[in-house]
Structure 1
Amino acid sequence: MPDNSLFGVHAAALEVRSQRMGLLASNIANASTPGFKARDLDFGKALASVEQMGTGANLGSATMYRNPFQPSLDGNTVELASEQTAFAENAVQYQTTLSFLNGRIGQITRALKGE
């Protein structure tokens, strides 16, 4: 397990949220691509994988396909409203995690300066 005691689980969470943002953006970009299958991450599995393997861990086992509420005739499983909502929620969670890490870095900087 990599040494991340300085930032705790938040560094791994930021990595997972970043990877998830990429998947959700891909889903949105392919909303009109026939046969495209929307994907998402199981956050718990992905977080455990990043914590064990470190940054850049393969999150294939945590990646899953979405089951649409209303299947499309062309085989596309992207439901644009759901994807946009998930993207917005993930963006807020990403920003929250980033703000926590920035605060932690500020604390460390102040401690090193003796403030």
Structure 2
Amino acid sequence: MKLFSNTINTLENALNYSSTKQKVIAQNISNADTPGYKAKNVSFKSELNDAISTVTGKQTNSKHMAIQSSGQAGVTISTDRTTSYNHTGNNVDIDKEMSDLATNQIYYNAMIERISGKFNSLQTVIKGGR
């Protein structure tokens, strides 16, 4: 019997993504004036969609829909080498990076709230509803 649902694992993966994205955005911002630096990007949603499309469950009734097995979603970091915004070859758009930073902070806070709620629910169950 599994003690925790896959929801906690998914939320953990989402927090890992957000942490990695924060580091990449910070690296991009700190290298905004570095000649030849190419901005990096973090991808998780495509990995998450692939994982969600292969979710499994136990079919307890013949009327239930069958679903498949899932794997861990991963985070990929890519570099955009196709663009250049100035004469130094740098392609960091500081406005985009600052916007991504704010969006990532909101996403991180939402994931923290969700995982905190899951753990609070577990704590309530362990305490017997008190």
Shorter-chain TM-score: what band? 0.7 to 0.9
Compute the displacement of 1:87 (Å).
Answer: 1.0
How far apart, in 2, do the equivalents of 1:43 and 1:104 lie? 22
Determine the structure 1 residue equivalent to 2:55: none
Percent sequence identity over matched residues?
24
Say if 1:27 and 1:106 are closer, same or farther in 2 by CA, change over 3 A: same
Q: What is the alpha-carbon distance in structure 2 between the residues aligned to residue 114 and residue 77 of structure 1?
A: 56
Residue 63 of structure 1 is matched in structure 2 by: 77
TM-score, normalization: structure 2?
0.69
Work out the number of aligned pairs and report it: 106
Question: Once the two structures are superposed, what CA deviation does each residue of 1:50-101 show, in whole Å capped at 9, x if it has no partner?
Answer: x8468xx7x4xx2222355x62110111110000001110111011001100
Among 76, 80, 93, the residue aligned to 2:90: 76
Distance 1:28 1:88 in 2: 13
Runs of 4+ that moved beyond 4 A = 45-49, 51-54
Q: What's the secondary structure of 2:78's corresponding residue?
A: strand
Quick one: structure 1 residues 4 and 37, their matched pair in 2 at CA, closer, same or farther if it must change by over 3 Å? farther
TM-aligned CA deviation for residue 4 of structure 1: 5.8
TM-score, length-scaled by structure 1: 0.78
Q: Which runs of 5+ in 2 are unaligned?
A: 52-69
Structure 1: unaligned runs, 5 residues or longer: none
Q: Which has the higher helix share?
A: 1
In the TM superposition, what are the counterparts of 1:1-115 in structure 2 within 5 Å? Answer: 5=6, 7-45=8-46, 47=48, 52=71, 59=75, 62-66=76-80, 68=83, 71-115=85-129
